[in-house]
Amino acid sequence: MAIPRRLFILLTTVALVVSAGCTRSESGPPRRVATAADSVDWPGAAPEQTYPVGLRTLALQRGDRPLPTTIWYPAAGPPGGVLSPGAEAAVGRFPIVLLSHGLGGQPEGFADIAQALAGDGFVVAAPAYPYTKKESPAFDRHDVRHQPADAAFVLDEIAKLGRRMGDPFAGRLAARMCAAGFSAGGTTTSGMLTPGRDPRLKCAVIISGRVMEGGYTGQAVPVLFVHGDADTVVAYSVGRGAYDKLAWPKAFLTMKGCGHGEFLDSKRAGFAPARAAITDFLRWNLYGDTAARKRMSAGGTLSGGTVFEDQF
């Protein structure tokens, strides 16, 4: 008798889980093996509409490390609606994008780009890291080395909400994720790309960032670098050096004349092309939108003041 396709997928996944080893790096995120839900929980086609945006906060904590997290998400309602705290989530399954702030940063600093991405069909989560966030009473720049594990924890906790009966996100989250970060948050992101990382991570975005020691050593995923060539905080050459050394599928967006992440501000001229490139990168890797990949490679999403190159 033929085995039904869903049962075959489940049995195959269970076999893979049983045979997988269990290892973790000392400073990187804990290893997570795939589950049957991960293998089938894809989003639908990339949305063509713009969603209104909902806002939610979670009081997460990993051990003795508080990780309050702000979430922007596609909400129900007419296309292009305004930001609405606690709004009902839109119907569908949406990929998750985690945004890591830099030294002295905070989730609110991502509001413009996070709201834009949520309107484009992504659930965007931004944790506040305990020892590098703005006005931390015990600020410690060296604590960045612990943040990849924090970020992995936050992603896993949010993913659980999609499977929790009665939660506003129940049935609304797809098991495809991206890690993104700005400045030291980019360092955090690179530290997540190590052997044994969460297999749901399908791509990464490094914005004006550096590389953590041991980063980019796991299974290859596409990485988008975005960097201003007038950056005086993390020099443009640092971002270029990381890109040039990486042997994975990759792209680099140069924001000409831009400093340290100013293009994340919707009032600045660089915001539109940066948003377009990031959105199309996410649509390609998280929704499987091949048209978005073609737009990127052709420079079709960009405008003057940028240089885009890729090795996909």
Instruction: Tell me the sheet residues that pair with 73.
Output: 54
In a domain, 47, yes or no: yes
In a domain, 288, yes or no: yes
Percentage above 70 pLDDT, the chain: 85
Over residues 213-260, the pLDDT tens digits come to 888 988 899 999 999 999 999 999 999 999 998 999 999 999 999 999
Q: How many domains does the chain have?
A: 1
CATH code of 294's domain: 3.40.50.1820
* DSSP structure class, residue 120: T
In a domain, 106, yes or no: yes
In a domain, 14, yes or no: no
In a domain, 292, yes or no: yes
Per-residue pLDDT band at 31 (split at 50, 70, 90): low
Element (H, E) at 153: helix 147-161
Instruction: Give Cα 282 distance to the centre of its chain.
Output: 9
- 71 in Cβ contact with 159 (< 8 Å): no
Instruction: Tell me the sheet residues that pair with 250.
Output: 223, 311
Task: Using alpha carbons only, give the angle 48, 305, 243 rounded to the nearest 5 degrees.
Answer: 85
Whole-number average pLDDT of the chain: 87
Over residues 202-219, the pLDDT tens digits come to 999 999 999 998 889 888
Q: How many residues does the chain have?
A: 312
> Which residues span the domain enclosing 81?
26-311
In a domain, 18, yes or no: no
In a domain, 233, yes or no: yes
In a domain, 199, yes or no: yes
Look up the pTM and report it: 0.86
- 209 in Cβ contact with 184 (< 8 Å): yes
23 compared with 101, residue with greater pLDDT: 101
- 183 in Cβ contact with 234 (< 8 Å): yes
Over residues 34-93, the pLDDT tens digits come to 443 443 467 889 999 999 999 999 999 999 999 999 999 999 998 777 788 999 999 999
Write the CB contacts of 158 (distance below 8 Å, at least 6 apart in sequence).
58, 69, 71, 96, 123, 125, 169, 173
- 36 in Cβ contact with 9 (< 8 Å): yes
Residue 33: per-residue pLDDT: 46
